[in-house]
Amino acid sequence: MRPRSSRRSRAGNTIADVAREAGVSLMTVSRVMNGKANVREETRERVEAAIKALNYSPSAAARNLAAASEVRIGLLYSNPSAGYLNEFLVGSLDQASRANVQLVVQLCENKEDRAEIVRRLIDGGVDGLILPPPLCDADDIHQLLQEAEVPAVVVASGRPPVFLSSVNIDDRAAAAAMTLHLVKLGHKRIGFISGNPDQTASALRLYGYLDALGEAGQVSDPALVVEGLFTYRSGLDAAQQLLALEERPTAIFASNDDMAAAVVSVAHRMGLDVPGDLTVVGFDDAPQATTTWPELTTIRQPIADMSRAAVIQLVEDIRTSRDGRRLAPRHAQMTFELIQRESDAAPAA
Amino acid sequence: MRPRSSRRSRAGNTIADVAREAGVSLMTVSRVMNGKANVREETRERVEAAIKALNYSPSAAARNLAAASEVRIGLLYSNPSAGYLNEFLVGSLDQASRANVQLVVQLCENKEDRAEIVRRLIDGGVDGLILPPPLCDADDIHQLLQEAEVPAVVVASGRPPVFLSSVNIDDRAAAAAMTLHLVKLGHKRIGFISGNPDQTASALRLYGYLDALGEAGQVSDPALVVEGLFTYRSGLDAAQQLLALEERPTAIFASNDDMAAAVVSVAHRMGLDVPGDLTVVGFDDAPQATTTWPELTTIRQPIADMSRAAVIQLVEDIRTSRDGRRLAPRHAQMTFELIQRESDAAPAA
DNA sequence: TGCTTCGATGATAGCGCTATCTCTGATGAG
DNA sequence: CTCATCAGAGATAGCGCTATCATCGAAGCA
DSSP B246-300: SS--SEEEESSHHHHHHHHHHHHHTT--TTTT-EEE-SB--GGGGSSSSPPBEEE
Sorting pLDDT into bands at 50, 70 and 90, what band is B3? very low
How much is the pLDDT for B290?
87
HEC string for B177-233 = HHHHHHHHHCCCCEEEEECCCCCHHHHHHHHHHHHHHHHCCCCCCHHHEEECCCCHH
Torsion sign over Cα B257, B258, B260, B264? positive
Min Cα–Cα distance to chain A from B265, Å: 7
Q: How far is the CA of B281 from the C1' of C3 (A)?
A: 89
Three-class SS state of B167:
strand
Cα separations in angstroms, A204 against A158, A167, A201:
7, 15, 5
The kind and range of the H/E element at A18 are helix A15-22
Domain containing residue B35: CATH number = 1.10.260.40
Q: Do B86 and A81 touch (CB under 8 A)?
A: no
Cβ contact A8 with chain C strand, < 7 A = no
Please check whether residue B103 touches A, CB under 8 A: yes
A54 in a domain, yes or no? Answer: yes
Highest mean pLDDT among A180-194, A286-300, B70-84: A180-194
In this structure, the answer to whether residues B223 and B117 fall within a common structural domain is: no
In this structure, the answer to whether residues A247 and A275 fall within a common structural domain is: yes
Where is average pLDDT lowest: B38-42, B208-212, B239-243?
B38-42
In this structure, the answer to whether residues A79 and A185 fall within a common structural domain is: no
How much is the pLDDT for A7?
57
In this structure, the answer to whether residues B180 and B157 fall within a common structural domain is: no
Cβ contact B8 with chain D strand, < 7 A = no
- Please tell me the total count of domains within chain B: 3
Q: Do B291 and A59 touch (CB under 8 A)?
A: no
Please check whether residue A260 touches B, CB under 8 A: no
A3 in a domain, yes or no? Answer: no
Cβ contact B28 with chain D strand, < 7 A = yes
Query: Residues 43..72 of A with a Cβ closer than 8 Å to B: which?
Result: 55, 57, 59-65, 68-70
Minimum Cα–Cα distance from A272: chain B residue: B269
Domain containing residue A177: CATH number = 3.40.50.2300
Strand partners for B104: B74
Q: What is the DSSP string of A206-273?
A: HHHHHHHHHHTT----GGGEEE--SSHHHHHHHHHHHHTSSS--SEEEESSHHHHHHHHHHHHHTT--
In this structure, the answer to whether residues B179 and B247 fall within a common structural domain is: yes
In this structure, the answer to whether residues B246 and B320 fall within a common structural domain is: no
Sorting pLDDT into bands at 50, 70 and 90, what band is B244? very high
Sorting pLDDT into bands at 50, 70 and 90, what band is A274? very high
Q: Name residue B322's amino acid.
A: R
Please check whether residue B86 touches A, CB under 8 A: yes
Residue A324 pLDDT > 50, yes or no? yes
Give the range of the structural domain holding residue B29, as residue numbers without chain letter. Answer: 15-58
In this structure, the answer to whether residues A284 and A192 fall within a common structural domain is: yes
Please check whether residue A9 touches B, CB under 8 A: yes
A344 in a domain, yes or no? Answer: no
Q: How far is the CA of A50 from the C1' of C9 (A)?
A: 18
How much is the pLDDT for B286?
86
Q: Which residues of A touch B102 (CB under 8 A)?
A: 60, 97, 102
In this structure, the answer to whether residues A81 and A198 fall within a common structural domain is: no
Mean of the per-residue pLDDT values for chain B? 89
How much is the pLDDT for B123?
73
Cβ contact A2 with chain C strand, < 7 A = no
In this structure, the answer to whether residues A144 and A226 fall within a common structural domain is: no
Answer yes or no: are the C-beta atoms of B252 and B263 closer than 8 Å. yes
Cβ-based burial of A8 (10 A; exposed 0-12, middle 13-18, buried ≥19): exposed
In this structure, the answer to whether residues B199 and B156 fall within a common structural domain is: no
Among B81, B119, B121, B291, the strongest candidate for a mutation testing the A interface, having the largest count of A CBs within 10 A, is B291
B6 in a domain, yes or no? Answer: no
Cβ contact B1 with chain D strand, < 7 A = no
DSSP state of A347: P
